[in-house]
Amino acid sequence: MTYGLETAEHPEQLRRVAIDPVSRVEGHGKVTILLDDDDKVRQVRLHVVEFRGFERFIQGRPYWEVPVMVQRLCGICPVSHHLAASKAMDAIVGTKRLTPTAEKVRRLMHYGQILQSHALHFFHLCSPDLLFGFASEVAKRNIVGVAAAHPETARRGVLLRRFGQEVIRVTAGKRIHGTGSIPGGVNKSVTREERDVLLADIYDMVAWSRDAVALVKQLHGQDPALYNSFGVFRSGMMSLVAPDGALDFYDGSLRARDESGAILFDHVNYREYASYIREEVKPWSYMKFPFLSSLGAEKGWYKVGPLARVQNCDHIASPLADAERREFVDYAGGSPIHAPLAYHWTRMIEMLHAAETIKDLLHDDDIMGDDLVSTGEHAREGIGVIEAPRGTLIHHYRVNDDDLVTMCNLIVSTTHNNQAMNEAIRHVAKRYLSGHRLTEGLLNHIEVAIRAFDPCLSCATHALGQMALELTLVGADGVELDQLARHGDGTVSRSPP
């Protein structure tokens, strides 16, 4: 299902409005809106305007450097890249099965990442819109405004994030860009003193996460018409699931459903991802457009992340989060919920699950073991897939006889959601902006729709060698004089004003 509005017939005759940059998201992006003389919206696009190039410059580096290097993609979700690359390198060093200590320390690290990232996104970045209103006073619409009006909510948000960062520091060595995970295992376990410090606070984290779920449900209950319809579109969904169908952020197999919730494929070995997922390049963004190859580019796009994961799994292994999952699923009578604002509800359910899982892992003595690494017969290719806070993250590498990387392919969580985010903002533009005189508050509606997906735009720019390029010549008076565009297929076109 699409709303059109991707490409206007005569863009040169339309007025251009840009939201540049999109604020309160990770990374840099912009939205362009083309309007006709009656202020009707004719074209809406989310552009990612920065370029990272990791897929190319990782080539030629020793494979053991990769888990540390690739996490520089991002300062918000480095653990996810650290672990996805480590899982790929496990295959390179021939590890068939991690030691219990290595797997549980990695899981603890990853669930700490989920907790801190979800807390950051909901409390710091999105709660101002949800608590004050999308078009509320702009000076108040930030975390400082939340701290002034809702001090306990803001305090808990800060402390939840800090706790997740402490879990990462204990397991990875640093809060950001740690080195704890290595090919074949980990380089440190958790000491008894470190565990006891975390255990002292974990029960507050579980309780506050439950309260956060209640807060989101309260917001939905206060205005269901808005929350159920804002930016809504129908699409398929994809995520990892555990062998028993449970929600699992660290490992599992791929499951995809169509927009009605029917299974498209299930328990697919993620090492076969290339047989199920293809990527399309469009001339106006550095971010690629993945789609399910069996359905084609037109109908095969999908969404990932909390809203997909919570509905794609059969159950959640921790009891409090699973009770919340059941209530969420029952909210729509068992039919898939596609409303972007429901991402926040499911994100808080996942934060609760992360807190419960961290509690259980802290009570497991295996995290203090000393059997850290296992290896086997080396291989030349490795694929690692993990559920990052924003969705499914795929790392794929090949190495040569000198153990140097020769190929790297990354399909990042936000990339999977590229078409979905574009559809959401087109729906919002059509419903709230078209035919109206634009204000800051109305334009913020576009950003609210983007924020719901928790995009990490700095992670998502990998159309290397195929990226589009637009070059605009502007005169001293600000008037556009000429424009050249290089498209994804290598062709060049000119659009003089």
**Which residues 6+ apart lie within 8 Å of 447 measured at CB?**
19, 22, 23, 24, 25, 31
pLDDT of residue 436: 92
pLDDT of residue 109: 98
Q: Span 226-239, mean pLDDT?
A: 96
pLDDT of residue 48: 79
- Written as one letter, the residue type at 365 is D
- What pLDDT, in 10s, does the model give residues 309-330? 999 999 999 999 999 999 999 9
Q: Span 190-214, mean pLDDT?
A: 98
- What pLDDT, in 10s, does the model give residues 262-287? 999 999 999 999 999 998 888 777 78
pTM tops 0.85: yes
pLDDT of residue 395: 96
- What pLDDT, in 10s, does the model give residues 2-31? 557 998 988 888 999 999 889 988 778 899
* pLDDT at 487 > cutoff 70: no
- What pLDDT, in 10s, does the model give residues 399-408? 999 999 999 9
- What pLDDT, in 10s, does the model give residues 233-243? 999 999 999 99
- Left, alpha or beta for 378 (phi > 0: left; psi -120 to 50: alpha)? beta
* pLDDT at 466 > cutoff 60: no
pLDDT tier for residue 485 given thresholds of 50, 70 and 90:
low
- What pLDDT, in 10s, does the model give residues 161-186? 999 999 999 999 999 899 999 999 99
* pLDDT at 473 > cutoff 80: no
* pLDDT at 483 > cutoff 80: no
Q: Please give the Cα distance from 286 to 14 (Å, whole number).
A: 24
Q: Span 132-149, mean pLDDT?
A: 95
Compute the mean pLDDT over every residue in the chain, rounded to the nearest whole number. 92
**Which residues 6+ apart lie within 8 Å of 438 measured at CB?**
17, 39
* pLDDT at 457 > cutoff 90: no
Query: What percent of the chain shows pLDDT beyond 70?
Result: 95
264's tokens: 């498209």
Q: Span 250-255, mean pLDDT?
A: 98
332 versus 49: the higher-pLDDT residue is: 332
Query: What percent of the chain shows pLDDT beyond 90?
Result: 79
* pLDDT at 486 > cutoff 70: no
pLDDT of residue 458: 74
pLDDT of residue 189: 98
Of 279, 257, 259, residue with least CA distance to 268: 257
- Left, alpha or beta for 52 (phi > 0: left; psi -120 to 50: alpha)? alpha
pLDDT of residue 372: 98
The dihedral through the CA atoms of 87, 92, 93, 97 has a sign that is: positive
pLDDT of residue 468: 56
- What pLDDT, in 10s, does the model give residues 26-69? 778 899 999 999 999 999 999 877 777 888 889 999 999 999 99
**Which residues 6+ apart lie within 8 Å of 440 measured at CB?**
135, 138
Q: With contact defined as beta carbons under 8 Å apart, do 54 and 286 qualify? A: no
